[in-house]
Amino acid sequence: MELALDRVSRRFGGVQALSDVSLGAGRGEVVCLVGPSGCGKSTLLRLIAGVDRPDAGTISLLGQDITHVAPEDRHVGFMFQDYALFPHLTARDNILFGLKRHRDAGAMAEEIIRRLGIGHLAARFPHMLSGGEQQRVALARALAPRPHVLLMDEPFSNLDRTLRDGIREETLAILAALEATVVMVTHDPEEALSSGDRVVLMRAGRVVQAGRGEDVYDRPRTAYAAGFFCDFNRFDGTTRGGAVATPFGPVAAGFVDGTAVQVLLRPQSLHPADSGTPATVTTVTLMGEIEQTRLRLACGQEMRMRSSRRHGLRQGDGVFLRADPAGVLVFPADAA
Amino acid sequence: MTRAWLGGAAAVALLVCLPVVSLLAIAAQGSAGLWSHLAANVLPAALRDTLILLAGVGVLVAVVGTGTAWLVTAHDFAGRRLFEWALLLPLAVPTYISAYAWLDILHPVGAVQGWVRAVLGYSSPREFRLPDVRSMTGCVLLLGLVLYPYVYLTARAMFVTQAAGLIEAARTLGERRVFRRVALPLARPAVAVGVSLALMEALNDIGASEFLGVRTMTVSVYSTWIGRADLPGAAQISLAMLALVVALVMLERWARRNQRYAVGQRPRPIGRSALRGWRAGLAMLACAVPVLLGFAAPATYLMVEAWKRVAFAGISPTLWTEALNTVLLASAATVMVLICGTVAAYAARLHGRGGLLARATTLGYAVPGTVLAIGLLPLVAALDRGLIAAGLPAVLLLGGSGAVLLAYMVRFMAIATGGVESGFARIPPSLDHASRSLGQGPSGTFLRVHLPLSRPALVALALLVFVDCAKELPATLLLRPLNVETLATHLYGEAARGTYEEAAIAALVIVAIGMAPVILLARQPRPRYPGTP
């Protein structure tokens, strides 16, 4: 493991920001910390960078314990949400800032400037750069000293929506080409799933689930993890005979009979059919690539159906619905 | 490395707190006999006069400061833009200079009284004279007229930054008396802060009250030490003054307690209502009188007198030496104060404990110069004795000007610490973290990030500290070596002797120096760093 955190805890006054968090990142791996604001993901990043210290636990880098090493001696790169470019220095001098210890600082700076294709920006001051250009310079500055691990705090959240996807793809390509080990923080589930080799979902200072994107998305271990990555339709029920009854028929559930459970159904697993569960369309909303249809079942429950196809439904239309069994998950009702 | 910064901040905090501690020590060893004399004959009268003076000045500055601030922010009338900055001008006139000038302007055989008698048809001062300016009333008026800008500044800032939305809301709700119902309650904390600052200045004043014959506690401390050489007695009166200071500081803190809830609103100008006819005239008059009496009259008088003197006798070499002394002392103090204040402010940024130390370095701002001097005297004497015992010349402190420097540092450290801290506050913490993660330690980060980014703030602060040092009178008077005069002490000496020789020139120079921060304030610069969002 390039970077390893072992049972790290941090408390701020009465708030337990992190409790017993263990985490690892292998060489060249992109680890995405994701969770709602206040879940402790940014605190974790600050602990790895050394600008804050844990109350308990150890942090090691390349097998060396760095828990109490000053940030300037860690060889950890940090890219900030606001980019934190020094306003009194040009882009080139910003990049040179971390290279003072190197004899061939100039060559190293030129190298990273070339790799990122920002030669035309090098002489400009930060206020003369657009958001995307600032992001690029900040990335170059963090990568220039060749850190053992690069930390990125919401690196794309300050960018326009239209720019974001393109810049994210480019950035990830550069990081992959450099074989950089990256720990990235985001609050955006889609960004986490698309950017990380490994996704670490956090909640209230604890790791809820960690794994490859498809694992945490397809096989969430808790209803919380499921709900974080997908807007499920939900039914409450009780198991009987190894199954729970839903408007779409019984769903197998491996719980003791009489357990209160929640059945989660992905909106994209619902589709209109010639027969099935009857429902009435309440609204149809075009969200760009996909179309979301809200429907009301005979029992009165609201459902959401999402599809990349245009169903041509209108408010008040009656339809039959079918559910794809692959999009159905069952969890205990009280599980958080 | 963080520890070194904290250590530096602790040393600065210690330096600032020493005079107060030493004051307590001397007061505690005072002889009983002298104290009972002081307690019976000096203190009650001095305390009464001081309290009357503070009450009078407090009311005057509150009314004039708030009133003019409201006039220029919420109304429009001819000359409003001019008054907006001109109302700050009296800040450039130290209290002792205003008193010096007005005493001569209103002299019974002077031009003004002569003109009044001529108009009224009297021929000699024996038949008619204006009420004597050398009185409590005169002193209150004089101090009020130069100190009201403290309230004007704080109240105007409040009206400009906070009031617009609320006043518009009140108007849409049909309220006509927005000043009484909205603006005044809103400005009350700001007014209290301004008043407490003005009163700290009033308490610090030694020249005006002495020239005008008001025996305040400051004057008593001075005469108890200079006249009777009674240090414990002076220390005991000083302690009583310190109690007043604590009360004023508490007033200020209390008034500031809710300020943090008010920040963050974007300043928006109030929709000004245009005044016409006699209302506009009245507004102009209300703004013009404080400027004329607080600044224009004394400044004009000084220019005329200085011109006469220069035309008559030129400028003496003594005055040049005094000007040089003033500049040298103030410059040396400014450098020291900025270095110490910056160390304290950066320690506060590095570490939570540094914040406490930084607060401690600001304790001196409220301590009157005389009180500070009385606290420093025994310390400095002990240091000098130590130097002599070690076989070194004692020129460092009392023999030289070390004691004066020390007093300036203690008294004006708050300007530097507070100013640098607010300069640093504009630098996002992510810049510190970026620098650290790029391999710079705390000191490297300071040199390469904080220092270059706060240079504009540091220049402005240097100016403020320099001007305050150059104007300082009470501590300089008590602590300067026998052969060293500054412009301020020269003026005091002449005024105390009742001779009017070169003092007008010295006073004019001090007022000219004092204009610098007024210009700075009037421009209201918001130092913006390129690129910070």
Mutation site for A-interface testing, chosen from B430, B436, B437, B454 by largest number of A Cβ within 10 Å: B437
Helix, strand or coil for residue A211? strand
| CB–CB contact B452 A76 (8 Å) | no
For residue A51, list chain B residues with Cβ-Cβ distance below 8 A.
Answer: 432-433, 436-437
Q: Which option is the CATH number for A231-332: 1.10.540.10, 2.40.50.140, 2.40.40.20, 3.80.30.20? A: 2.40.50.140
Structural Rg of chain B based on CA atoms = 24
- Name the DSSP letter for residue A240: B
Residues 6+ apart with CB under 8 A from B525: B456, B460
Question: What was the pLDDT predicted at A34?
Answer: 94
Q: Is the pLDDT of residue A249 over 80?
A: yes
> How many Å lie between the alpha carbon of A152 and the closest alpha carbon of chain B?
12
Query: In the predicted model, what is the mean pLDDT of chain A?
Result: 90
Mutation site for A-interface testing, chosen from B350, B351, B435, B438 by largest number of A Cβ within 10 Å: B438
Taking the domains of chain B in order of start, what are their residue ranges?
1-25+315-528, 31-93+134-300
CB burial readout A163-186, b (16+ within 10 A) else e: ebeebbeebbebbeeeebbbbbbb
Mutation site for B-interface testing, chosen from A12, A68, A80 by largest number of B Cβ within 10 Å: A80
Residues 6+ apart with CB under 8 A from A14: none
Q: Is some CB atom of chain A closer than 8 A to the CB atom of B179?
A: no
How does strand A251-252 pair with strand A243-244? Answer: antiparallel
Q: Is A103 exposed, middle or buried (0-12, 13-18, 19+ CB in 10 A)?
A: exposed
Domains B1-25+315-528 and B31-93+134-300 share a fold: yes
pLDDT bucket at A259, cuts 50 / 70 / 90: confident
| CB–CB contact B529 A125 (8 Å) | no
> How many Å lie between the alpha carbon of A45 and the closest alpha carbon of chain B?
12
Question: What was the pLDDT predicted at A241?
Answer: 83
Q: Is some CB atom of chain B closer than 8 A to the CB atom of A42?
A: no
For residue A72, list chain B residues with Cβ-Cβ distance below 8 A.
Answer: 436-441, 444
- A3-227 — its CATH code? 3.40.50.300
Question: What was the pLDDT predicted at B225?
Answer: 84
Give the chain B residue nearest A49 (alpha carbons): B437
Question: What was the pLDDT predicted at B60?
Answer: 96
Assigned fold of B1-25+315-528: MetI-like fold (1.10.3720)
Question: What was the pLDDT predicted at B240?
Answer: 87
Could you give the CA distance from residue A200 to residue B24 in angstroms, rounded to a whole number?
A: 61
Q: Which candidate, A119, A125, A95, places its Cα nearest to that of A108?
A: A95
pLDDT tens digits, one per residue of A14-46: 889 999 999 999 999 999 999 998 899 999 999
| CB–CB contact A97 B438 (8 Å) | yes
Q: Mutual orientation of helices B317-350 and B455-471 as an angle, nearest 10°? A: 140
Q: Is some CB atom of chain A closer than 8 A to the CB atom of B529?
A: yes
Taking the domains of chain A in order of start, what are their residue ranges?
3-227, 231-332
Question: What was the pLDDT predicted at B526?
Answer: 40
Mutation site for B-interface testing, chosen from A68, A72, A148 by largest number of B Cβ within 10 Å: A72
B195 and B61 in contact (C-beta within 8 Å)?
yes
Could you give the CA distance from residue A85 to residue A79 in angstroms, rounded to a whole number?
A: 10
Could you give the CA distance from residue B326 to residue B468 in angstroms, rounded to a whole number?
A: 11
0.85 surpassed by complex ipTM: no
DSSP run (H or E) holding A261: strand A260-265
Q: Is the pLDDT of residue A94 over 70?
A: yes
Q: Is the pLDDT of residue A294 over 90?
A: yes
For residue B428, list chain A residues with Cβ-Cβ distance below 8 A.
Answer: 82, 84
- B31-93+134-300 — its CATH code? 1.10.3720.10
pLDDT tens digits, one per residue of A126-172: 999 998 999 999 999 999 998 999 999 999 888 888 888 888 998 99
pLDDT tens digits, one per residue of B139-193: 999 999 999 999 999 898 888 877 777 777 777 777 777 888 888 888 888 898 8
| CB–CB contact A98 B431 (8 Å) | no
Could you give the CA distance from residue A152 to residue A195 in angstroms, rounded to a whole number?
A: 12
Could you give the CA distance from residue B292 to residue B87 in angstroms, rounded to a whole number?
A: 9
Question: Which residues in chain B land under pLDDT 70?
Answer: 30-36, 258-269, 393-400, 524-533
Section A194-205 average pLDDT? 92
Strands across the sheet with A291-297, in order? A270-273, A318-323, A277-286, A291-297, A302-307
Q: Which of A250-264, A270-284, B391-405 has the lowest mean pLDDT?
A: B391-405
Q: Mutual orientation of helices B2-28 and B317-350 as an angle, nearest 10°? A: 120
Q: Which candidate, A79, A60, A70, A64, places its Cα nearest to that of A145?
A: A79
Give the chain A residue nearest B426 (alpha carbons): A87
Question: What was the pLDDT predicted at B263?
Answer: 43
Q: Is some CB atom of chain A closer than 8 A to the CB atom of B437?
A: yes
Question: What was the pLDDT predicted at B327?
Answer: 94
> How many Å lie between the alpha carbon of B460 and the closest alpha carbon of chain A?
19
